[in-house]
Chain A
């Protein structure tokens, strides 16, 4: 099973700032099969990025993903008030999907 470790656990930033979230895999994620989801309290997760860098339908271009192998990054270029949430990475390179533990982006 591929274990995904997200850091930091919590990111305290102000609106307009840049957010950089990290996701590290215990082994190489094949074909960049890495996705990112956003979850707000009381809501279902929302797909942001898949294939490490492809934005899902309707996702603003302030969200971008990068990385390969074992190291992946989600960047939010300028935080909007609605971006404060928990973000999860997920690998789908194996039939057993695994998620990271999440990074909470909170208002500073």
Chain B
């Protein structure tokens, strides 16, 4: 059974940093690209970032480029999102999600999602 479990969320002040983790199980982690998608309170879904299976290729939304860094440790089956220079508008539930294809290449169809973790940026 595929499981994705996010952690590391919480309250942070504007300008601060936070690192999210997503522990994966139930599939061959290194064979799949992974994404982060966020959802501000009461709003729709916004894709944030993606990473290929090997970790060498990364992709970012313009809204987070230069501030967020996606990475993965395939030996630990864990996905990360380092978030720096946080803004109030980054407040959201952050989901990690698995790509549907096992090629390791980023495809963009997200077939399994974690339960989400709340990040609140406020003074």
Using CB atoms and an 8 Å cutoff, list the residues of chain A in contact with chain B. 1, 33, 35, 37, 39, 43-47, 50, 56-57, 88, 90, 92, 95-102
Using CB atoms and an 8 Å cutoff, list the residues of chain B in contact with chain A. 35, 37, 44-47, 50, 59, 61-62, 95, 100, 106-111, 113-116
Given A33-B108, A88-B45: A44 and B113 interface contact (C-beta under 8 Å): yes
Residue of A nearest to B96 (CB): A44
Taken together as a complex, chains A and B put the C-alpha atoms of A37 and B47 apart, in Å, by 13
Residue of A nearest to B106 (CB): A95
- How many inter-chain residue pairs (CB < 8 Å) link A and B? 57
Residue of A nearest to B109 (CB): A50
The 3 closest A-B pairs by CB, nearest first: A92-B108, A44-B113, A97-B47
Taken together as a complex, chains A and B put the C-alpha atoms of A47 and B46 apart, in Å, by 15
Contact status A92-B59, CB under 8 Å: no
Contact status B95-A96, CB under 8 Å: no
Contact status A92-B109, CB under 8 Å: yes
How many whole Å from A47's CB to the nearest CB in chain B? 5
Residue of B nearest to A95 (CB): B59
Contacts of A90 in B (CB 8 A): 45, 47, 108
Contact status A99-B100, CB under 8 Å: no
Given A92-B108, A97-B50: A45 and B45 interface contact (C-beta under 8 Å): yes
Taken together as a complex, chains A and B put the C-alpha atoms of A45 and B112 apart, in Å, by 9
Contacts of A37 in B (CB 8 A): 45, 110
Contacts of B44 in A (CB 8 A): 88, 99-102
Contacts of A35 in B (CB 8 A): 109-110
Of residues B37, B108, B114, which shows the largest number of chain A Cβ atoms within 10 Å of its Cβ? B108
Taken together as a complex, chains A and B put the C-alpha atoms of A46 and B116 apart, in Å, by 13
- Could you write out 19 A-B pairs with CB less than 8 Å apart? A33-B108, A37-B45, A44-B95, A44-B114, A44-B116, A45-B45, A45-B110, A47-B100, A47-B109, A47-B110, A50-B109, A56-B100, A57-B111, A95-B108, A96-B62, A99-B45, A99-B46, A101-B44, A102-B44
Contact status B113-A96, CB under 8 Å: no
Given A44-B116, A95-B106: A50 and B100 interface contact (C-beta under 8 Å): yes
